[in-house]
A and B are shown apart, each in its own frame.
Chain A
Amino acid sequence: MAYVTKSPWVIHYDGSSCNGCDIEVLACLTPMYDVERFGIINSGNPKHADVLLITGSVNEQNKPVVQQIYDEMLQPKVVVAIGACACTGGVFRECYNIIGGADQAIPVDVYVPGCAARPESIIDGVVKGLAVLAEKREKVAKGETVTEGEQAE
Protein backbone atom coordinates (compact mmCIF):
# COMPACT_ATOMS: atom_id res chain seq x y z
CA MET A 1 0.00 0.00 0.00
CA ALA A 2 1.22 3.47 -0.80
CA TYR A 3 1.16 5.29 2.53
CA VAL A 4 2.84 8.18 0.83
CA THR A 5 -0.55 9.34 -0.43
CA LYS A 6 -1.77 9.52 3.15
CA SER A 7 1.10 11.56 4.42
CA PRO A 8 2.59 13.76 1.72
CA TRP A 9 5.01 16.17 3.35
CA VAL A 10 5.69 19.22 1.28
CA ILE A 11 8.52 21.66 0.89
CA HIS A 12 7.90 24.91 -0.89
CA TYR A 13 10.41 26.91 -2.84
CA ASP A 14 9.80 30.38 -4.21
CA GLY A 15 11.83 31.34 -7.28
CA SER A 16 11.66 34.64 -9.13
CA SER A 17 8.16 35.81 -8.46
CA CYS A 18 5.91 38.41 -6.96
CA ASN A 19 5.49 36.04 -3.96
CA GLY A 20 1.75 35.93 -4.51
CA CYS A 21 1.66 32.18 -5.15
CA ASP A 22 3.94 31.54 -2.18
CA ILE A 23 1.51 33.33 0.08
CA GLU A 24 -1.31 31.27 -1.37
CA VAL A 25 0.66 28.08 -0.61
CA LEU A 26 0.91 29.10 3.00
CA ALA A 27 -2.74 30.04 2.99
CA CYS A 28 -3.46 26.35 2.44
CA LEU A 29 -2.20 25.64 5.93
CA THR A 30 -4.61 28.04 7.58
CA PRO A 31 -7.76 26.84 9.33
CA MET A 32 -9.71 27.93 6.25
CA TYR A 33 -8.21 25.22 4.04
CA ASP A 34 -6.35 23.07 6.61
CA VAL A 35 -4.37 20.75 4.38
CA GLU A 36 -3.23 18.81 7.44
CA ARG A 37 -6.61 17.05 7.01
CA PHE A 38 -4.86 15.09 4.27
CA GLY A 39 -1.75 14.52 6.35
CA ILE A 40 0.08 17.27 4.54
CA ILE A 41 2.80 18.84 6.63
CA ASN A 42 4.89 21.77 5.56
CA SER A 43 8.46 20.66 6.09
CA GLY A 44 11.42 22.90 5.45
CA ASN A 45 13.68 19.99 4.70
CA PRO A 46 14.00 18.29 1.30
CA LYS A 47 15.16 15.08 2.98
CA HIS A 48 11.82 14.80 4.75
CA ALA A 49 9.60 16.01 1.95
CA ASP A 50 7.69 14.06 -0.69
CA VAL A 51 6.26 16.95 -2.67
CA LEU A 52 8.17 19.97 -3.93
CA LEU A 53 5.86 22.92 -4.41
CA ILE A 54 7.64 25.41 -6.59
CA THR A 55 6.34 28.91 -7.21
CA GLY A 56 7.90 31.54 -9.38
CA SER A 57 10.12 31.22 -12.39
CA VAL A 58 13.66 29.91 -12.51
CA ASN A 59 16.58 32.26 -13.08
CA GLU A 60 20.29 31.67 -13.55
CA GLN A 61 21.06 32.14 -9.89
CA ASN A 62 18.42 29.94 -8.34
CA LYS A 63 18.58 27.17 -10.90
CA PRO A 64 21.34 25.19 -9.09
CA VAL A 65 19.54 25.74 -5.80
CA VAL A 66 16.30 24.31 -7.15
CA GLN A 67 18.18 21.41 -8.66
CA GLN A 68 20.03 20.69 -5.44
CA ILE A 69 16.86 20.72 -3.38
CA TYR A 70 15.23 18.42 -5.88
CA ASP A 71 18.21 16.06 -5.83
CA GLU A 72 18.22 15.88 -2.06
CA MET A 73 14.59 14.72 -2.01
CA LEU A 74 14.22 10.98 -1.90
CA GLN A 75 12.09 8.81 -4.14
CA PRO A 76 9.15 8.64 -4.48
CA LYS A 77 8.81 12.40 -4.97
CA VAL A 78 6.78 14.73 -7.14
CA VAL A 79 7.17 18.31 -8.23
CA VAL A 80 4.16 20.59 -8.44
CA ALA A 81 4.71 23.83 -10.30
CA ILE A 82 2.32 26.43 -8.93
CA GLY A 83 1.22 29.51 -10.74
CA ALA A 84 1.87 30.95 -14.15
CA CYS A 85 5.49 31.82 -13.46
CA ALA A 86 6.44 28.34 -12.28
CA CYS A 87 4.60 26.79 -15.22
CA THR A 88 6.00 28.95 -18.00
CA GLY A 89 7.96 31.86 -16.63
CA GLY A 90 4.84 34.04 -16.59
CA VAL A 91 5.21 37.77 -16.80
CA PHE A 92 8.93 37.48 -16.10
CA ARG A 93 9.47 35.24 -19.09
CA GLU A 94 11.14 37.88 -21.22
CA CYS A 95 13.53 39.10 -18.52
CA TYR A 96 17.24 38.81 -19.35
CA ASN A 97 18.06 36.51 -16.48
CA ILE A 98 15.00 34.26 -16.51
CA ILE A 99 15.34 30.80 -17.91
CA GLY A 100 11.65 30.00 -17.83
CA GLY A 101 9.33 27.76 -15.82
CA ALA A 102 10.39 25.24 -13.20
CA ASP A 103 10.54 22.52 -15.82
CA GLN A 104 13.63 24.23 -17.26
CA ALA A 105 15.54 23.15 -14.15
CA ILE A 106 13.88 20.00 -12.87
CA PRO A 107 11.24 17.51 -14.06
CA VAL A 108 7.77 18.76 -13.16
CA ASP A 109 4.88 16.36 -12.60
CA VAL A 110 1.89 18.64 -12.06
CA TYR A 111 1.23 22.14 -13.35
CA VAL A 112 -1.17 24.36 -11.42
CA PRO A 113 -2.12 27.44 -13.44
CA GLY A 114 -3.29 30.76 -12.04
CA CYS A 115 -1.94 34.17 -11.20
CA ALA A 116 -1.90 33.82 -8.33
CA ALA A 117 -3.00 30.21 -8.07
CA ARG A 118 -5.94 29.87 -5.70
CA PRO A 119 -5.53 27.65 -2.62
CA GLU A 120 -8.29 25.35 -3.91
CA SER A 121 -6.40 24.72 -7.12
CA ILE A 122 -3.12 24.26 -5.22
CA ILE A 123 -4.74 21.60 -3.07
CA ASP A 124 -6.24 20.11 -6.20
CA GLY A 125 -2.77 20.06 -7.76
CA VAL A 126 -1.21 18.36 -4.77
CA VAL A 127 -3.97 15.75 -4.76
CA LYS A 128 -3.29 15.12 -8.45
CA GLY A 129 0.35 14.80 -7.52
CA LEU A 130 -0.59 12.11 -5.02
CA ALA A 131 -1.72 9.85 -7.83
CA VAL A 132 1.70 10.34 -9.45
CA LEU A 133 3.35 9.64 -6.09
CA ALA A 134 1.43 6.39 -5.73
CA GLU A 135 2.51 5.37 -9.21
CA LYS A 136 6.14 6.16 -8.44
CA ARG A 137 5.88 4.34 -5.16
CA GLU A 138 4.84 1.20 -7.06
CA LYS A 139 7.88 1.56 -9.27
CA VAL A 140 10.21 2.12 -6.32
CA ALA A 141 8.75 -0.92 -4.62
CA LYS A 142 9.37 -3.01 -7.70
CA GLY A 143 12.88 -1.65 -7.92
CA GLU A 144 12.35 0.09 -11.29
CA THR A 145 13.95 3.40 -12.04
CA VAL A 146 11.50 6.20 -11.85
CA THR A 147 11.07 8.20 -15.01
CA GLU A 148 10.69 11.84 -14.30
CA GLY A 149 8.25 14.41 -15.43
CA GLU A 150 4.89 12.86 -16.31
CA GLN A 151 2.49 15.67 -16.86
CA ALA A 152 -0.99 16.28 -15.56
CA GLU A 153 -3.53 19.09 -15.91
Chain B
Amino acid sequence: MISFYGSEISYFQVITAAVFVVCGPLVGGLIAGFDRKITARMQGRQGPPVLQPFYDVLKLMEKEPATVRGSQDFYIMTSLIFCVITGVFFFGGGNLLMVIFTLTTADILLVLGGFASNSSYSQIGAERELVQLMSTEPMIILLTIGLFLAKGSFGVAEIISGGPVAFPYLAGLFIGVLYIFTIKLRKSPFDLSMSHHMHQELVKGLTTEFSGRTLAAIEMMHWYENVIFLGFIFLFFANGTPLWWVLGIVVCLFLYFVEILIDNTYARMRWQFTLKSAWAVTIIFGGANLLVLYYLHASQLLS
Protein backbone atom coordinates (compact mmCIF):
# COMPACT_ATOMS: atom_id res chain seq x y z
CA MET B 1 0.00 0.00 0.00
CA ILE B 2 1.15 3.49 -0.80
CA SER B 3 -0.21 6.38 1.17
CA PHE B 4 -0.95 9.54 -0.82
CA TYR B 5 -2.36 12.40 1.22
CA GLY B 6 -4.65 10.15 3.16
CA SER B 7 -5.74 7.98 0.24
CA GLU B 8 -4.46 4.43 0.19
CA ILE B 9 -3.34 3.14 -3.17
CA SER B 10 -2.60 -0.54 -3.45
CA TYR B 11 0.30 -1.92 -5.50
CA PHE B 12 -2.27 -3.75 -7.61
CA GLN B 13 -3.73 -0.39 -8.65
CA VAL B 14 -0.27 0.88 -9.57
CA ILE B 15 0.33 -2.22 -11.65
CA THR B 16 -2.98 -2.03 -13.50
CA ALA B 17 -2.32 1.63 -14.26
CA ALA B 18 1.13 0.76 -15.61
CA VAL B 19 -0.35 -2.10 -17.63
CA PHE B 20 -2.77 0.36 -19.18
CA VAL B 21 0.00 2.72 -20.21
CA VAL B 22 1.91 -0.07 -21.91
CA CYS B 23 -0.87 -2.33 -23.16
CA GLY B 24 -3.57 0.28 -23.80
CA PRO B 25 -2.37 1.06 -27.31
CA LEU B 26 -1.68 -2.64 -27.98
CA VAL B 27 -5.22 -3.61 -27.07
CA GLY B 28 -6.68 -0.54 -28.74
CA GLY B 29 -4.68 -1.19 -31.90
CA LEU B 30 -5.68 -4.84 -31.99
CA ILE B 31 -9.31 -3.92 -31.55
CA ALA B 32 -8.94 -1.46 -34.42
CA GLY B 33 -7.31 -4.21 -36.49
CA PHE B 34 -10.13 -6.66 -35.87
CA ASP B 35 -12.54 -3.84 -36.49
CA ARG B 36 -11.13 -3.31 -39.97
CA LYS B 37 -11.01 -7.02 -40.67
CA ILE B 38 -14.60 -7.59 -39.56
CA THR B 39 -15.75 -4.51 -41.45
CA ALA B 40 -14.11 -5.86 -44.60
CA ARG B 41 -15.79 -9.23 -44.13
CA MET B 42 -19.14 -7.56 -43.65
CA GLN B 43 -18.57 -5.83 -46.98
CA GLY B 44 -17.54 -9.06 -48.69
CA ARG B 45 -13.86 -8.14 -48.79
CA GLN B 46 -10.84 -9.93 -47.43
CA GLY B 47 -9.56 -6.90 -45.52
CA PRO B 48 -6.14 -5.90 -44.23
CA PRO B 49 -4.02 -7.87 -41.80
CA VAL B 50 -5.08 -7.62 -38.17
CA LEU B 51 -1.86 -5.78 -37.40
CA GLN B 52 -2.59 -3.16 -40.05
CA PRO B 53 -3.31 -0.31 -37.57
CA PHE B 54 0.16 -0.82 -36.11
CA TYR B 55 1.72 -0.71 -39.56
CA ASP B 56 -0.13 2.52 -40.22
CA VAL B 57 1.09 4.17 -37.05
CA LEU B 58 4.66 2.96 -37.56
CA LYS B 59 4.53 4.25 -41.10
CA LEU B 60 3.35 7.63 -39.89
CA MET B 61 6.28 7.74 -37.46
CA GLU B 62 8.62 7.24 -40.40
CA LYS B 63 7.25 10.13 -42.41
CA GLU B 64 9.07 13.38 -42.84
CA PRO B 65 8.18 15.71 -39.94
CA ALA B 66 6.19 18.74 -41.03
CA THR B 67 3.51 21.00 -39.67
CA VAL B 68 1.45 23.97 -40.71
CA ARG B 69 1.81 25.90 -37.45
CA GLY B 70 4.34 25.06 -34.78
CA SER B 71 1.69 25.35 -32.08
CA GLN B 72 -0.80 22.82 -33.40
CA ASP B 73 1.35 19.80 -32.60
CA PHE B 74 1.67 20.98 -29.02
CA TYR B 75 -2.05 20.61 -28.42
CA ILE B 76 -2.10 17.11 -29.82
CA MET B 77 0.86 15.91 -27.78
CA THR B 78 -0.60 17.45 -24.63
CA SER B 79 -3.90 15.88 -25.48
CA LEU B 80 -2.26 12.46 -25.77
CA ILE B 81 -0.53 12.96 -22.42
CA PHE B 82 -3.82 13.88 -20.76
CA CYS B 83 -5.51 10.92 -22.37
CA VAL B 84 -2.88 8.62 -20.89
CA ILE B 85 -3.27 10.33 -17.53
CA THR B 86 -7.02 9.72 -17.75
CA GLY B 87 -6.38 6.05 -18.34
CA VAL B 88 -3.98 5.94 -15.42
CA PHE B 89 -6.67 7.41 -13.18
CA PHE B 90 -9.25 4.99 -14.51
CA PHE B 91 -7.22 1.79 -14.44
CA GLY B 92 -5.47 2.88 -11.27
CA GLY B 93 -8.88 2.83 -9.62
CA GLY B 94 -9.20 6.61 -9.23
CA ASN B 95 -12.20 8.88 -8.95
CA LEU B 96 -14.62 8.55 -11.88
CA LEU B 97 -15.45 12.24 -11.96
CA MET B 98 -11.76 13.04 -12.18
CA VAL B 99 -11.52 10.54 -15.04
CA ILE B 100 -14.28 12.14 -17.07
CA PHE B 101 -13.06 15.67 -16.49
CA THR B 102 -9.50 14.82 -17.47
CA LEU B 103 -10.75 12.99 -20.51
CA THR B 104 -12.77 16.05 -21.46
CA THR B 105 -9.63 18.15 -21.15
CA ALA B 106 -7.83 15.75 -23.47
CA ASP B 107 -10.66 16.08 -25.98
CA ILE B 108 -10.70 19.86 -25.69
CA LEU B 109 -6.96 19.99 -26.36
CA LEU B 110 -7.54 17.87 -29.45
CA VAL B 111 -10.21 20.32 -30.58
CA LEU B 112 -7.88 23.24 -29.98
CA GLY B 113 -5.31 21.46 -32.13
CA GLY B 114 -7.91 21.49 -34.88
CA PHE B 115 -8.50 25.20 -34.41
CA ALA B 116 -4.84 26.15 -34.14
CA SER B 117 -3.98 25.94 -37.83
CA ASN B 118 -6.89 28.18 -38.87
CA SER B 119 -7.69 25.70 -41.64
CA SER B 120 -11.31 25.72 -42.72
CA TYR B 121 -11.57 21.96 -42.95
CA SER B 122 -10.02 21.25 -39.60
CA GLN B 123 -11.97 24.03 -37.95
CA ILE B 124 -15.30 22.62 -39.06
CA GLY B 125 -14.06 19.23 -37.92
CA ALA B 126 -13.11 20.71 -34.56
CA GLU B 127 -16.48 22.37 -34.30
CA ARG B 128 -18.22 19.07 -34.98
CA GLU B 129 -16.01 17.32 -32.48
CA LEU B 130 -17.21 19.90 -29.97
CA VAL B 131 -20.81 19.16 -30.85
CA GLN B 132 -20.06 15.48 -30.32
CA LEU B 133 -18.55 16.31 -26.94
CA MET B 134 -21.57 18.38 -25.99
CA SER B 135 -23.85 15.54 -27.08
CA THR B 136 -22.11 12.91 -24.98
CA GLU B 137 -21.03 14.82 -21.89
CA PRO B 138 -24.38 14.81 -20.01
CA MET B 139 -24.77 11.06 -20.47
CA ILE B 140 -21.28 10.37 -19.18
CA ILE B 141 -21.87 12.54 -16.12
CA LEU B 142 -25.19 10.79 -15.48
CA LEU B 143 -23.44 7.44 -15.84
CA THR B 144 -20.96 8.27 -13.10
CA ILE B 145 -23.78 9.46 -10.89
CA GLY B 146 -25.75 6.31 -11.59
CA LEU B 147 -22.74 4.22 -10.67
CA PHE B 148 -22.37 6.22 -7.49
CA LEU B 149 -25.98 5.65 -6.55
CA ALA B 150 -25.77 1.95 -7.31
CA LYS B 151 -22.40 1.32 -5.73
CA GLY B 152 -22.01 4.10 -3.20
CA SER B 153 -18.69 5.34 -4.52
CA PHE B 154 -17.08 7.32 -7.28
CA GLY B 155 -13.86 5.30 -6.95
CA VAL B 156 -13.27 2.85 -9.79
CA ALA B 157 -11.41 0.55 -7.40
CA GLU B 158 -14.44 0.35 -5.09
CA ILE B 159 -16.89 -0.03 -7.97
CA ILE B 160 -15.14 -3.04 -9.52
CA SER B 161 -14.15 -4.79 -6.33
CA GLY B 162 -17.47 -5.38 -4.67
CA GLY B 163 -21.09 -4.54 -4.13
CA PRO B 164 -24.01 -5.51 -6.29
CA VAL B 165 -23.72 -5.79 -10.06
CA ALA B 166 -24.67 -2.34 -11.29
CA PHE B 167 -26.35 -3.42 -14.51
CA PRO B 168 -29.84 -4.22 -13.16
CA TYR B 169 -29.98 -0.82 -11.48
CA LEU B 170 -28.66 1.01 -14.49
CA ALA B 171 -30.42 -0.65 -17.40
CA GLY B 172 -31.73 2.68 -18.72
CA LEU B 173 -28.36 4.30 -18.41
CA PHE B 174 -26.86 1.33 -20.21
CA ILE B 175 -29.06 1.99 -23.25
CA GLY B 176 -28.10 5.64 -23.16
CA VAL B 177 -24.42 4.81 -22.90
CA LEU B 178 -24.73 2.46 -25.87
CA TYR B 179 -26.11 5.32 -27.91
CA ILE B 180 -23.34 7.73 -27.09
CA PHE B 181 -20.77 4.94 -27.37
CA THR B 182 -21.08 5.25 -31.16
CA ILE B 183 -20.51 8.98 -30.96
CA LYS B 184 -17.54 8.54 -28.67
CA LEU B 185 -15.94 5.93 -30.90
CA ARG B 186 -16.45 8.39 -33.78
CA LYS B 187 -18.07 5.68 -35.84
CA SER B 188 -20.69 6.01 -38.51
CA PRO B 189 -23.43 7.35 -38.29
CA PHE B 190 -21.62 9.80 -36.01
CA ASP B 191 -18.16 10.01 -37.57
CA LEU B 192 -18.69 13.71 -37.98
CA SER B 193 -15.41 15.20 -36.91
CA MET B 194 -12.77 13.00 -38.48
CA SER B 195 -14.74 11.15 -41.11
CA HIS B 196 -13.30 7.70 -41.37
CA HIS B 197 -14.21 5.45 -44.27
CA MET B 198 -14.87 7.28 -47.48
CA HIS B 199 -16.81 10.17 -45.98
CA GLN B 200 -14.65 12.94 -47.21
CA GLU B 201 -16.73 16.07 -47.46
CA LEU B 202 -14.39 17.68 -44.93
CA VAL B 203 -11.31 15.97 -46.35
CA LYS B 204 -10.26 14.49 -43.00
CA GLY B 205 -12.01 16.96 -40.73
CA LEU B 206 -10.16 17.73 -37.55
CA THR B 207 -7.08 15.77 -38.63
CA THR B 208 -6.72 17.41 -42.04
CA GLU B 209 -3.71 19.53 -41.16
CA PHE B 210 -1.88 16.87 -39.17
CA SER B 211 0.65 14.50 -40.59
CA GLY B 212 3.39 12.08 -39.60
CA ARG B 213 4.03 11.64 -35.90
CA THR B 214 1.28 14.00 -34.83
CA LEU B 215 -1.26 12.02 -36.80
CA ALA B 216 0.15 8.88 -35.24
CA ALA B 217 -0.38 10.50 -31.84
CA ILE B 218 -4.03 11.20 -32.68
CA GLU B 219 -4.43 7.57 -33.72
CA MET B 220 -2.82 6.34 -30.49
CA MET B 221 -5.00 8.67 -28.48
CA HIS B 222 -8.00 7.18 -30.19
CA TRP B 223 -6.87 3.69 -29.15
CA TYR B 224 -6.34 4.75 -25.57
CA GLU B 225 -9.74 6.40 -25.55
CA ASN B 226 -11.48 3.33 -26.92
CA VAL B 227 -9.97 1.18 -24.21
CA ILE B 228 -11.16 3.64 -21.57
CA PHE B 229 -14.68 3.62 -23.00
CA LEU B 230 -14.75 -0.14 -23.01
CA GLY B 231 -13.68 0.16 -19.40
CA PHE B 232 -16.76 2.29 -18.74
CA ILE B 233 -18.98 -0.46 -20.16
CA PHE B 234 -17.13 -2.97 -18.02
CA LEU B 235 -18.09 -1.01 -14.89
CA PHE B 236 -21.71 -2.01 -15.43
CA PHE B 237 -20.85 -5.62 -14.70
CA ALA B 238 -17.81 -5.85 -12.46
CA ASN B 239 -18.45 -6.76 -8.87
CA GLY B 240 -15.24 -8.48 -7.87
CA THR B 241 -16.16 -12.05 -8.81
CA PRO B 242 -14.36 -13.73 -11.73
CA LEU B 243 -17.62 -14.79 -13.39
CA TRP B 244 -18.83 -11.22 -13.72
CA TRP B 245 -15.40 -10.05 -14.80
CA VAL B 246 -15.44 -12.50 -17.67
CA LEU B 247 -19.02 -11.63 -18.47
CA GLY B 248 -18.14 -7.94 -18.46
CA ILE B 249 -15.32 -8.45 -20.93
CA VAL B 250 -17.54 -10.60 -23.15
CA VAL B 251 -20.23 -7.91 -23.15
CA CYS B 252 -17.63 -5.26 -24.01
CA LEU B 253 -16.43 -7.26 -26.99
CA PHE B 254 -19.98 -8.04 -28.08
CA LEU B 255 -20.93 -4.38 -27.93
CA TYR B 256 -17.93 -3.46 -29.96
CA PHE B 257 -19.09 -5.97 -32.55
CA VAL B 258 -22.52 -4.33 -32.53
CA GLU B 259 -20.84 -0.97 -33.05
CA ILE B 260 -19.05 -2.34 -36.09
CA LEU B 261 -22.36 -3.60 -37.41
CA ILE B 262 -23.98 -0.19 -36.90
CA ASP B 263 -20.94 1.42 -38.48
CA ASN B 264 -21.47 -0.62 -41.62
CA THR B 265 -25.21 -0.34 -41.88
CA TYR B 266 -25.89 3.33 -41.23
CA ALA B 267 -25.31 6.36 -43.36
CA ARG B 268 -23.87 9.49 -41.82
CA MET B 269 -26.19 11.61 -39.69
CA ARG B 270 -26.02 15.38 -39.45
CA TRP B 271 -24.64 17.06 -36.35
CA GLN B 272 -28.01 18.57 -35.48
CA PHE B 273 -29.49 15.09 -35.30
CA THR B 274 -26.52 13.89 -33.29
CA LEU B 275 -27.01 16.57 -30.67
CA LYS B 276 -30.77 16.38 -30.44
CA SER B 277 -31.01 12.60 -30.44
CA ALA B 278 -28.17 12.17 -27.94
CA TRP B 279 -29.77 14.62 -25.54
CA ALA B 280 -33.18 13.07 -26.01
CA VAL B 281 -31.77 9.63 -25.24
CA THR B 282 -29.92 11.06 -22.25
CA ILE B 283 -33.03 12.68 -20.83
CA ILE B 284 -35.37 9.78 -21.53
CA PHE B 285 -33.21 6.81 -20.56
CA GLY B 286 -30.54 8.38 -18.36
CA GLY B 287 -32.84 10.81 -16.62
CA ALA B 288 -35.62 8.34 -16.03
CA ASN B 289 -33.24 5.74 -14.71
CA LEU B 290 -31.63 8.22 -12.37
CA LEU B 291 -34.99 9.47 -11.16
CA VAL B 292 -36.06 5.94 -10.34
CA LEU B 293 -32.76 5.31 -8.59
CA TYR B 294 -33.14 8.46 -6.54
CA TYR B 295 -36.64 7.82 -5.38
CA LEU B 296 -36.54 4.05 -4.99
CA HIS B 297 -33.03 3.30 -3.93
CA ALA B 298 -31.25 6.47 -2.93
CA SER B 299 -32.60 6.65 0.58
CA GLN B 300 -31.42 3.19 1.52
CA LEU B 301 -28.20 3.29 -0.50
CA LEU B 302 -27.16 6.65 0.82
CA SER B 303 -27.89 5.88 4.44
Contact = CB atoms under 8 A, between A and B. Distances in A.
Contacts of A37: 45-48
Interface residues of B, number: 30
Contact of A7 (B47, B52, B198, B200): B52
Contacts of A36: 36, 40, 45, 47-48
Contact of B55 (A39, A42, A76): A39
B81 interface: no
B119 to A, nearest CB: 10
Nearest to A38: B48
B52 A48 contact: no
B46 A34 contact: yes
A142 B204 CA distance: 31
Contacts of A38: 48
Interface string A1-40: 0111011010000000000000000000101001011110
Interface string A82-126: 000000000000000000000000000000000000000000000
B55 A74 contact: no
A139 B56 CA distance: 20
Contacts of A140: 62, 64
Given A34-B40, A37-B46, A45 B198 contact: no
Contacts of A42: 198
Contacts of B63: 4, 50, 74-76
B40 A4 contact: no
Interface of B: 36, 40, 43-49, 52, 55-56, 58-59, 61-64, 66, 198, 200, 203-204, 207-212, 215
Given A74-B212, A137-B62, A141-B62, 20 more contacts: A2-B62, A3-B55, A3-B61, A4-B59, A6-B55, A31-B44, A34-B45, A34-B46, A37-B45, A39-B48, A42-B198, A44-B204, A45-B204, A45-B208, A47-B66, A47-B208, A47-B211, A48-B207, A74-B211, A75-B64
7 contacts: A4-B59, A6-B55, A34-B40, A39-B55, A48-B204, A50-B59, A140-B64
